[in-house]
Amino acid sequence: MTTSARGRQGFETLDGTPSPERRDLMRWNVGTLHQSWYVAALSTQVTARKPFASTILEEPIVLFRGKDGRSTALRDRCLHRNAALSEGDVFDGCIGCPYHGWTYDASGACVTVPSEGPGCAPRVARSLERFPVIERDGLVWVWMGDPNDATTKEPFRFPHHGEPGWRTYYMLTWFDGDVTDLVENFMDVPHTAFVHSGWFRKAGTAKRAEATVERTRDAVHVEYFQPDDSIGFTKWLVNPDGAPMTHTDRFFMPNVTRVDYMWGERRGFVISSQITPASPTRALVYTAITFRFGVFNPLARVLLPWYTRVVIDQDVRIMANQTANIARFGGRRFHGTEADTIHRAIESLREHARLGGDGPAPEPFVERIAFWM
C-alpha cells in the first residue's frame, strides 16, 4: 500500500504529517491560535524512565527524555496499529509501543520493528510527528503550529522566577471553560467580592475603582488606581509597613495572564497563569505563584498554597457553572458594563486570531474606566 493510499484510508502518513481525519481536531480549527507555545508539563513530570501524556488543542502528545536528557514531544500514536505510546516504556532514550514493541527515538524515527526479524531494524523509514520543545522556568513548552515558525516567538517568561528574594511554586488545575472565558475570569476584579467573598474581598463593601485599559496588537494591560486597596490575606504578612498597593493585570496572547500586587519595592505577589486547552471547553491551567515578603517568605511558603488552592477552587466552580450554562442555552449572549471594557479588549484579540488573522487587526487603544467592586 502506498503512502498516499494509507492517508486516504485515515492512517497517519509515513512522514508523520496529519492525515485528513486529523484535521477535525481543535488544533487545526482555531485560526492562528495554534501558532504558539503551550505548556505540556512540569519539567519534573518528564523523565527518562516513563512516558508522560499531554493533550493540547485536542492533539495527544507523549513526552519523554532522550539520551541527552532533553525533553522530546511526539504524537501519541504508534504508526503500526495506533496504540498510545504514552502507555509504553522509555529505555535508552527511546519510547516503545506497548502493543507490538515498535520503538521510536527522540527524533520520532522508528528504530525497531520486532516483527521484521533478528536485529529488528525497520525496513522502511518511518517517523512520527515531532513537536518543537523549549524547557525553561521548570516547565516544558511545546510549539503547536508550523515547526518552521517556532523560532519566531519565545515562550512567556514567568516573572521573577529564580530571582534573589523571590519564591515560586506551581499549581496545576483543571478548569471547564473556553480559553477566552478563563482569561477573563483571571483578569476580572468585580467577581472577587462574590465568588471569593471573605477570602479576597467582601460583598457589601464595594468601592469605586478607576483604571486604565490599554490594548496593543497582542496584549491587554490594566492598571488600577486604588493605593488603599487590599487583598484577602493578612496585612502584617504582605504589607506590614502600610505601603500603597500597586495593582496591574495583563493578558498576553494567546493564553497567559499576569496579575501583580506590589507594596513598595520590597514586597510583592504575582499570579501568572498559562492556559493549556485540551479541548474547546476543558483546560489545564499552570499557575505560578511568585512572592517576595522578606523575612516572612518561609511562613508564606507554608500558608499560601492552602490559601491559593481555596481561591482557585472557587473559580473552578464558577467557571463550571458558566460553561455548562452557556452550553445549555446554545451559546453566549453577553451584556456588558464599563467594567467589561477589559473583557471586550481580550475578546477582540483572540477572536481576530481565531478567524485566522484576516482583515484589519483590532486597533490599539488606551481608555480610562471606572466601576464599583
Least confident of 236-240, 316-320, 358-362: 236-240
For residue 244, the model assigns a pLDDT of 84
Task: Look at residue 193 in the predicted model and tell me its pLDDT.
Answer: 86
Is the pTM above the cut of 0.95?
no
Given this model, what pLDDT does residue 197 score?
A: 79
Is pLDDT of 1 > 90?
no
3-state helix, strand, coil in the chain (%, to 5): 25, 30, 40
pLDDT digits (tens, 9 = 90+) for 106-124: 999 999 999 988 776 777 8
pLDDT per residue over 51-81, tens digit each? 999 999 999 999 999 999 999 999 999 999 9
* pLDDT value, residue 236: 57
Sign of the CA dihedral running 227, 233, 236, 239: negative
Answer yes or no: is pLDDT of 19 > 80: no
CATH of domain 167-372: 3.90.380.10
The domain limits of the chain are 14-150, 167-372
pLDDT tier for residue 91 given thresholds of 50, 70 and 90? very high
pLDDT at 249: 98
DSSP letter at 30 equals: S
Name the band, by pLDDT with cuts 50, 70 and 90, for residue 4: very low
Residue 205: CB atoms within 10 A of its CB come to 9
Q: Is pLDDT larger for residue 120 or for residue 16?
A: 120
**pLDDT mean over 237-257:** 88
The pLDDT value recorded for residue 199 is 58
Whether 270 contacts 165, CB under 8 Å: no
Whole-number Å distance between alpha carbons of 300 and 51: 34
Instruction: Enter the CATH code of domain 14-150.
Output: 2.102.10.10
Q: For residues 296 and 93, which has the higher predicted lDDT (pLDDT)?
A: 93
Rg, the chain, Cα only: 23
CB-based contact 275:182 (threshold 8 Å): yes
**What gap in Å lies between CA 86 and CA 106, rounded to an integer?**
14
Distances (CA, A) of 112 to 51, 92, 102, 104: 18, 12, 6, 7
Measure the CA–CA gap between 167 and 265, rounded to whole angstroms.
Answer: 16
pLDDT at residue 3 greater than cutoff 50: no
Mean confidence (pLDDT) of the chain: 90
Is the pLDDT at 7 greater than 60? The verdict is no
Cell numbers given for 324: 455548562
Give the pLDDT confidence score for residue 6 in this predicted structure.
37
